[in-house]
Amino acid sequence: MALQKTALFLLAAGIATGAPTSPSRDGITVPLSVPNTAAAPILQPFLGYSIEFFFWPDFAGNLTHPNAFSNNLLDNLGQLQGEKPYIRVGGNTQDLAIFDAGLPTATAGTIDNSTTFKDYPLHVKIGPSFFESYHTFPNTKYSHGFNLAANGTLGEKTTNETVPFACKALANGRLAYWEIGNEPDHFPTVNKTTNYPLRPESWKEKDYVSDWLARSRLIRERMRMDCPDIQEDEIRFLAPSFAEKEKLVLDPVKVWGKERLGRDTDIVLNSMHNYIDGANQPGVTLANTLLNHTKLKSSLSHHLEIRDKIQANTSGKHVPYILGETNSLYQQGAPALSDSFGAALWNVDFSLYLASKGIGRVHMHHGTDYRYNSWQPVQTEKTSIGTKGPYYGNIMTAAMMGGDGLNDVRITELQLGKSKNEEKEVAYAAYVGDQLKRVAVVNMMQYNYTDTPTGEKKVPTGNDTRPTESYSFKLSSGGRPALVQRLMANGSDAITGITFDGWSYNYELAQGRPVRLANVTVGELVWPDRNGFVEVTLPHSSAAIVTPYL
């Protein structure tokens, strides 16, 4: 009866309720109970963010001027996935930061535009007011990154001086984890940031573990002194935060295995980093790099191999594997690629694929003026404040991951059939507890609405109809319909005009709070045919969540 009332209401409101559909030849019967082959449940929350250390005050603000825009965007995601994203404060500038107790500002550092590194300063100081930013987002948990690159007396000094401020700022339930060092596997090489090695070539896995353990034990000792109210079991770490996937400078399997990084049993997340490619690498395009499921799987395969080896028989055997820093293209992304609607579609496929393989959590990396940001937190000379394309992919991911607060959430990848393009068309099922909850479909066949990368609009020719593909699923056995929520834009190269389920999160409308647009169809129902299949038609370069009324 309730379902009939819903359908009648939608019809009365003039909202689409599709007629019974006919199954395509590759219709998929989706298991109503979680398959035995499903990977481990995701961690809650699954979607997190990583904020470049130096730019943390831009994203969060301070006690006098909290960044309400950022908080609104985090609230939206929390309402969908059940908990606000965990925030990792770290990155390259984490290992450049020296504490200055007399600094009158949160940070100090000047970006030198004459160098090849124009996205963050190479000499960084932080002061006591840096830690105010941990108080601006209600109901949010954080990991704070300590400098491991600073060695010897300087390293110990800045850790000793930082811990009291950090642990007090993260008291009362705000602390999730500590992190020591960012991509220390690069330390023995000519560092991409400093242009000189941070450790000698002779610095190997044994030396890294020795340095890490010494620093973690120092942090624990200082916390006992400065923050005695924080319980011992709350002092937890994520590690090793390595960058390399294939050309291993330090081998994470050896670090966890022979050298026993986890011997103190206080590392609760095995954190690694990943980028699918480089912003300035030859051949990187939207169609071939981001809108490409085969490329995505290839970029992640080594992580799965490393994870399996570590969990087979090392000190990291029972430690969940996460991507503690990740995004589309390293070097902070590329304009017209990393900030496009195509990047939003990539975000969805990337996140759901990871979840389907048992990767527990992802932290999408951000920094002020970075091209792959989900949002720009402040107005600068380079970039306007606002919500960016990738955020809408984050929204769909969070909607797919939503649970009931009681049961585990698992994601499985679905095989769409021989008539589909496995490089460009993907689907996933979400299970809450043992029960099928929803299905996501992503079409990555490129459809651009502009002629050139400069954004000039196409001149209509009469032959510009956007192609579509249909997908057929059997989701229930009772003849009930399914609700369709679409991730849409004018094309894969769109930078603006993006919606999920008719909602806009633009800064200009309500500072990131959701606004339902009147010109977008919502409440779309698809009804099963006599064989129980519902059919969903997607325009090229779009995605949807299909939720059955079970």
The set of catalytic residues is: 205, 325
Tokens of 513: 């709070």
247 close to 199: Cβ distance less than 8 angstroms? no
Q: Specify whether the CB–CB gap between 338 and 328 falls below 8 A.
A: yes
User: Partners of 395 in the beta sheet?
Assistant: none
| E strand map for 279-355 | 321-330
CA torsion sign for 34, 38, 41, 46 is negative
DSSP 73: H
Cβ neighbours, 10 Å, residue 445: 19
Q: In terms of C-beta density within 10 A (0-12 exposed, 13-18 middle, 19 or more buried), how is residue 225 classed?
A: exposed
Q: Are 75 and 389 in contact (CB under 8 A)?
A: no
Crossing angle, helix 341-356 and helix 293-313, to 10 degrees?
Answer: 30
Residues 91, 99: Cα–Cα separation, whole Å: 16
Nearest to 286 by CA among 225, 250, 339, 331: 339
Interatomic CA distance for residues 10 and 73, integer angstroms: 28
The reply to whether omega before 240 is within 30° of 0 (cis) is yes
Residue 270 CB partners (closer than 8 Å, separation 6+): 238, 239, 240, 252, 256, 307, 310, 316, 319, 320, 321, 322
The neighbour count for residue 288, using CB atoms within 10 Å, is 14
Q: CA angle, corner 468, sides to 439 and 374, nearest 5?
A: 60
Tell me the residue ranges of DSSP E strands in 132-265.
142-146, 175-180, 237-242
Q: What tokens appear for 395 in the block?
A: 């929204």
Neighbour-count burial for 144-154, b at 16+ CB within 10 Å, e otherwise:
bbbbbbbeeee
Q: How many CB atoms lie within 10 A of CB 466?
A: 12
Going by C-alpha positions, the residue among 89, 88, 90, 85 that lies closest to residue 44 is: 85
Structure tokens at 353: 């694929």
CA distance 298 to 320: 21
Largest Cα–Cα distance of the chain, in whole Å? 74
* Best CA proximity match to 177, nearest among 217, 146, 137, 138: 146
Token pair for 85: 């994203």
Please give the Cα distance from 466 to 448 (Å, whole number): 9
Helix (H, G, I), strand (E, B) or coil at 102: coil
Check the CA dihedral 375-108-104-156 and report its sign: positive
